[in-house]
Each structure stands twice: as structure tokens, then as C-alpha cells.
Amino acid sequence: MSRHLYRVTIMSYPTPDGKPFVDQPVEFWQKCLDAHYDPSLADQLPAFMDWDFEEWIYQEDYSGYGGEGGTYYAGPGGEHIGTDPAMRVPVSRRKHWQSASAARREAAKLREWGCIVTVDKSKPIEWEVA
């Protein structure tokens, strides 16, 4: 067991309103998809989505998280799994990690999407026997 704890802090999201990806309406993600598939709409694609996000687009036959960890299905009305979800988007449900590599993976996933993220390391922890 690690003698340290690691904290992943999301300083900012690149979304137009600065809110987490899961708080964006499905219409926002649908506009991103439309711009992704139609080059004439490319100017409508938000700057933070100017990368190949094909692997994050919901597929009808998709049957798992593909190792991505904390993902959210952006569906109609913002349901977690909608009847016709548009995208899988990253969500961070944990802040503290006992593994440095796990904390770095979480931060890397969010940075890929344009978030500003820090990973902090605690001082050594001394555990008491209870």
C-alpha cells in the first residue's frame, strides 16, 4: 500500500460555460457530432473538440467502457444512458487516489479533453493500528 495519497483536481473545463462535460445538454454534443461529420460545419465545433474524438462517439453495438473508466452517456434530457445517446464523455467521480499511476491516468484522460488538471501528492501517511 502506498504511503501517500494523490489528489486529482480539475481546475477548469474547456466547455463554453466552464461546467463539467456531464452538465452540457445533449444538443451541445449533437452539434459537435454534426460538425465532426460535416466539414462545412467545422467552424461550429468548439475549440476543445478539434481532435479526433471518434472513439468517444456512442456506437449502437458498444458493450462496455473500453477501459476508459468514468464515462457518462450524454443522452436525451441528460439521462445517464439515454435512448439515443450522442457521446461518451469523461467524468471524474473520485478526487483521491492511493495509486500515483491511477491518478495520472485520470488526469491524462481529462487533459486529452482540454481540462486543466493538477495531481497533488500528500506527505507520507502514518497508519495507526485500530
pLDDT tens digits for range 16-74: 999 998 888 878 888 888 898 898 998 989 999 988 888 888 765 545 444 344 455 55
Q: Percentage of the chain with pLDDT > 70?
A: 78
d(CA 127, CA 130): 9
Where are the extended beta strands (E) located within 15-104? 71-74, 87-90, 96-97
- DSSP-assigned letter for residue 90: E
- CA atoms of 10 and 41, how far apart (whole Å): 30
> What does the block give as the cell for 82?
439515454
Task: Read off the pTM.
Answer: 0.76
Cell reading at 53: 474524438
Q: Tell me what pLDDT residue 11 has.
A: 97
Q: Where are the domains of the chain?
A: 6-121
Q: Is 76's pLDDT higher than 80? A: no
The rounded percent of the chain whose pLDDT value lies above 90 is: 41
Q: What is the pLDDT of residue 92?
A: 84
Q: What is the pLDDT of residue 69?
A: 43
